[in-house]
Amino acid sequence: MPAGTPAPIDRAALERIIQRAAELQTSEREIGEGLTSDDVLALGREVGIPGRYLQQALLEERTRMVEVGPGGLLSRTVGPAAITAQRVVRGERELIEATLIHWMEKHELFSVQRHQPGRITWEPTGGFQAVYRRAVGATGSSKRPIMLAKADTVACTVLELEPGYCTVALTATARKTRGESVGGSAALVSAGAVSTGVLAAIGAVLPVVLVPLPLALGLGYAVLRRYGPVVARIQLGLERALDHLEHGNRAERLLPPTPPRLLDLLANEVRKALKP
């Protein structure tokens, strides 16, 4: 880097700079125990933040789900069976639901199981082609990898907050994958305990008797740890769907319609000619 050229600012540094600038800005004003929505909007105007972004952030804060820690021992040691993501999105409920259905069917290979106003549930699409695409997409070898391949079901709740704003909550379950991890770990530990008992029964020396059980415990723990990346991948998949609602949806509407291909035009003409 040439001498005198300032170092580039990465995303983490940019967030720290913005947060510090906001602290300095608010320190110049008298702020009581709390701020009203009008106070926040006024502060935003002073620092040049558009009102629509502040309004969306305020709605997200009001509807933020309280994060509850895992209640059971299994959830604390292995991971949750249900993964959730939530965001406030601009748009009408019908358009948001239609966009999510198209996204889940095209990019995650999930079909609608039940659809009611404000509530949608999906299940994995069946068939050889879907299974093949899901296997290829889960490995990351496709252009847009499938993130929810290990999910059992996905549910969505869309709640209208204000005209033009909706809160969208996505929940994916992965009980089957978690059960497989727990079952595999339990099987390894049981095998280690049985092997230790057999060696002790035949009179093996103590160092040999003590080998199987610690080895099985280590392998069992490693199997349990494999569920953590599954949860992280599903969480990323839910956030990616919300990103599409928030950004990609508007970008797609700006694209011009795709012109019909020559083969499509010929096929349409053949169909017309075959009609009686």
Whole-number average pLDDT of the chain: 77
More confident residue, 22 or 238: 238
CATH fold of the domain at 80-174: Alpha-D-Glucose-1,6-Bisphosphate; Chain A, domain 4 (3.30.530)
pTM over 0.85: no
Radius of gyration, CA atoms only, the chain? 27
Tell me what pLDDT residue 73 has. Answer: 72
Residue 212 near residue 199, CB atoms below 8 Å: yes
Instruction: Give residue 231's pLDDT band: very low, low, confident or very high (50, 70, 90).
Output: very high
| Structure-model confidence comparison of residues 256 and 137, the more confident one | 137
Q: Rounded distance, CA 164 to CA 156, Å?
A: 18
Distance CA 190, CA 218 (A): 12
Region of 239 (left: φ > 0; alpha: ψ -120 to 50; beta: rest) is alpha
Q: Which H or E run includes 50? A: none
Other C-beta atoms within 10 Å of 42: how many? 13
- pLDDT given for residue 46 in this prediction: 65
Model pLDDT for residues 245-259, shown as the tens digit of each residue = 988 644 344 334 444
Edge-first strand order for the sheet with 110-116 is 82-90, 165-173, 153-162, 119-124, 110-116
In the block, tokens 């009609």 appear at 275
Three-state DSSP class for residue 43 = helix
pLDDT at position 52 over 90 = no
Burial class of residue 185 (count of CB atoms within 10 Å of its CB; 0-12, 13-18, 19+): buried
Domain-wise residue ranges, the chain: 80-174
Nearest-angstrom CA–CA distance, 78 and 117: 35
What confidence score (pLDDT) does residue 233 get? 94
Once rounded to an integer, what is the mean pLDDT over residues 112-116? Answer: 93
